[in-house]
Amino acid sequence: MANINQYLIMSSAPEAPDFANGLFISSCNFGTTLGSAAGGLLITEMGIQYIGLAGILSLLFGLAAISIRNHVMLPRQQFSRS
C-alpha cells in the first residue's frame, strides 16, 4: 500500500517531487502515530474484542478519503505532469 500512497502524494505535486516525497514520509509517520494512539485508546476504553471494529472503521475512513480526493480532482489533473 505504500506505493499507492506515494503515487497519490506525488501526483498532487508533480512539479516539486522532493517536497512531495517529504510530504509522503511525514504523512506516513503521522498516520502511524495517530493509528497507534487511536488503537491504544480503543483497547484501553472498550477492550480487545472491538479491535476488529476499529480496523473496519479505519478502512471506511481511508476509502472515504480516497473517494473525496478523486472527486475533487478532475481525472486529467490526476495524471498530468505539465
- Residue 74 has a pLDDT of 63
Q: pLDDT tens, 35-46? A: 889 888 888 999
Q: In the chain, what percentage of residues exceed pLDDT 70? A: 78
Indicate the pLDDT class of residue 28, thresholds 50, 70 and 90: confident
Contacts 24+ apart (CB under 8 A), 44-52: none
- Residue 60 has a pLDDT of 93
Tell me the C-alpha distance between 43 and 71, whole Å. Answer: 34
| pLDDT reading at 23 higher than 70 | yes
Beta-carbon neighbour count of residue 11 at 10 Å? 16
Tell me the C-alpha distance between 12 and 81, whole Å. Answer: 10
What is the pTM for the complete model shown? 0.56
Q: pLDDT tens, 44-63? A: 999 888 888 888 888 998 89
